[in-house]
Amino acid sequence: MILQQKTQQKTAFSPSPKRSVHVMTWGCQMNVYDSARMQDVLQPLGFAPVNTPEEAEIIILNTCHIRDKAAEKVFSELGRLRLIKEARKAHGQQTLIAVAGCVAQAEGEELLTRAPYVDIVLGPQTYHRLPELLTHVARTGKPVIDIDFPTEQKFDFLPHNKTPQTSHSPTAFLTIQEGCDKFCSFCVVPYTRGAECSRPVSAILEEAHRLVEAGARDISLLGQNVNAYHGTGPDGNLWSLAQLAYALADIPDLLRIRYTTSHPRDMHNALIMAHRDLPKLMPFLHLPIQSGSDRILRAMNRGHTANDYLAIVQRLREARPDIALSSDFIVGYPGETEQDFEATLHLVQQVGFALAYSFKYSPRPGTPAAEADGQVPEDVKNTRLQILQKILHDQQNAFNDQFVGRSIPVLLTSRGRKQGQIVGRSPWLQPVHINGSDHLIGQERLVHITARLSHSLLGNLDENKTSLPQ
């Protein structure tokens, strides 16, 4: 059945310390954040996270639909979980399976037709209703689907005050905005995540204060279109991301602020100036361009040209000379010619990226590009992807190489895989490995870089300089 209305019933799940939940997460950082919030929502009911689905009373798959055969991957995972559910049942243990996120949103009822052992299907906008949905299943024994775009804001319902008051990781995510109104012709996000909406400033500042009190030093603000942020401020006016960044920078123990993912159309002057004014705003920006060909950018409905992008990069570099750029690219978009692809390579050479993600175009059902003429053959996409990735990889190595022999501030975040090693993050988001003891975790220290590894840097604490450059 489809649960259309928000029910007001009290949950039938009473708090019990023995309950267990296992969440599996695919996709972007927003899904990682959502998965943590789903655990928060279940925590007051006594559900504690466990590491394997075999141990879990509730298994949640938080899915991603952006590329590839997303639905097929989910169905194959569900096949495995069905066996676990049956094995647990044979031992008298109940298991509920919930599919959340963008595949749930896109597949809806089809999911229950193909996998009738699934108990709950919920979209990215409705996970705050998880307790009610569990109650519903417990009462009726029947599966529920809740993929409406609710009128209430899920942000208002999340128990953010459950953020632990002790020992949070030095890095944290904080969702400030969701959804997208841009409708790039290849993308499912506007359909699965819905219209753009921004959290109020006060809620964000409160959550940031709590995270910092609990130990976070580097906060990444998240949103599908994060720089389109326009939340209501305490003064009643709509605040931009730039205004929010200035307010966050006033939190004394918050050392680093980042935001992702941005759209070139929303890269306004005030935000560029914030990069000039705020040392805490990290000099690393993920700014997807997708293609370097104006013809393809137009077909993609991106609303900007290659030159618009280059102009933004130039202004950013003038404002903050050490800023590094990262991007996303799609090769083999319908109608992409060799000439279009060459234009992408040319743009890559002009910008020089510190990091980039590149994908073969993957038709998403229901999006305009999936129906477009001129679908590019798979072998052509493969060849173009290889060529582009080689250039981007060389650029990444060149970017990382320039740090060898220099001392840079590193926020030490966790133990490394090797004994005695700890890992941190540079301002440019590079992982940095050093030898050192656990007490350094949570501190920002100067590290002398001695080598570049394939995707990270190696270094030693710079004992000569204990204070960081201001």
Which residues contact ligand 5AD by CB under 6 A? 66-67, 186-187, 288, 290, 328, 330, 359, 361-362, 364
The residue (of 131 and 288) whose beta carbon lies closer to ligand 5AD is: 288
- Give min distance, CB of 229 to ligand SF4, in A: 14
**Residues paired with residue 58 on neighbouring β-strands, in sequence order:** 21, 96
The residue (of 15 and 365) whose beta carbon lies closer to ligand SF4 is: 365
Render 377-444 in DSSP notation, one character per residue: PHHHHHHHHHHHHHHHHHHHHHHHHTTTT-EEEEEEEEE-SSTTEEEEE-TT--EEEEE--GGGTT-E
| 16 three-class SS | coil
Could you tell me if 274 and 319 are in contact, meaning their C-beta atoms sit under 8 angstroms apart? no
The residue (of 225 and 395) whose beta carbon lies closer to ligand SF4 is: 225
Identify what 182 binds: ligand 5AD, ligand SF4, none; CB under 5 to 8 Å per kind: ligand SF4
By CB under 6 A, tell whether 23 contacts ligand SF4.
no
Identify what 393 binds: ligand SF4, ligand 5AD, none; CB under 5 to 8 Å per kind: none
By CB under 6 A, tell whether 297 contacts ligand SF4.
no
The residue (of 187 and 351) whose beta carbon lies closer to ligand SF4 is: 187
The residue (of 66 and 345) whose beta carbon lies closer to ligand 5AD is: 66
| 331 three-class SS | strand
What is the pattern of x (binds ligand SF4, CB under 6 A) and - over residues 160-199? --------------------x-xxx--x-xx---------
- What one-character DSSP code corresponds to residue 262? -
Cα gap 413→423, rounded to integer Å: 6
| 171 three-class SS | strand
Identify what 225 binds: ligand 5AD, ligand SF4, none; CB under 5 to 8 Å per kind: ligand SF4
Q: Which residue's entry shows tokens 């104006």? A: 294
User: Which two three-digit tokens encode residue 155?
Assistant: 């942000």
Cα gap 306→392, rounded to integer Å: 17
By CB under 6 A, tell whether 287 contacts ligand SF4.
no
Q: Which residue's entry shows tokens 């049942």? A: 89
User: Which two three-digit tokens encode residue 453?
Assistant: 């590894």
- Give min distance, CB of 290 to ligand 5AD, in A: 5
Identify what 201 binds: ligand 5AD, ligand SF4, none; CB under 5 to 8 Å per kind: none
> Cα 469 to the chain's mean position, in Å?
30
Residues touching ligand SF4, count (CB under 6 A): 10
Could you tell me if 215 and 167 are in contact, meaning their C-beta atoms sit under 8 angstroms apart? yes
The residue (of 193 and 364) whose beta carbon lies closer to ligand 5AD is: 364
Q: Which residue is nearest to ligand 5AD (CB)?
A: 328
Could you tell me if 393 and 417 are in contact, meaning their C-beta atoms sit under 8 angstroms apart? no
| 349 three-class SS | helix
- Residue 260: is the preceding peptide bond cis (ω within 30°)? no
Identify what 224 binds: ligand SF4, ligand 5AD, none; CB under 5 to 8 Å per kind: ligand SF4
The residue (of 169 and 362) whose beta carbon lies closer to ligand 5AD is: 362
The residue (of 183 and 357) whose beta carbon lies closer to ligand SF4 is: 183
The residue (of 21 and 331) whose beta carbon lies closer to ligand 5AD is: 331
Q: Which residue's entry shows tokens 């029947």? A: 142
Q: Which residue's entry shows tokens 């390579």? A: 345
Give the up-direction half-sphere exposure of residue 324: CA atoms within 13 A in the CB hemisphere.
20
The residue (of 66 and 138) whose beta carbon lies closer to ligand SF4 is: 66
Identify what 37 binds: ligand 5AD, ligand SF4, none; CB under 5 to 8 Å per kind: none
Cα gap 118→121, rounded to integer Å: 8
Of the candidates 229, 222, 259, 225, the residue with the CA atom closest to the CA atom of residue 243 = 229
- Give min distance, CB of 261 to ligand 5AD, in A: 7
By CB under 6 A, tell whether 357 contacts ligand SF4.
no
| 373 three-class SS | coil
Could you tell me if 232 and 187 are in contact, meaning their C-beta atoms sit under 8 angstroms apart? no
Please report, as residue ranges, which positions from 223 to 242 form the binding site for ligand SF4 (by CB under 6 A).
Answer: 224-225
By CB under 6 A, tell whether 304 contacts ligand SF4.
no
- Give min distance, CB of 33 to ligand 5AD, in A: 15
Identify what 180 binds: ligand SF4, ligand 5AD, none; CB under 5 to 8 Å per kind: ligand SF4
Q: Which residues bind to ligand SF4, rule: CB under 6 A?
A: 180, 182-184, 187, 189-190, 224-225, 263
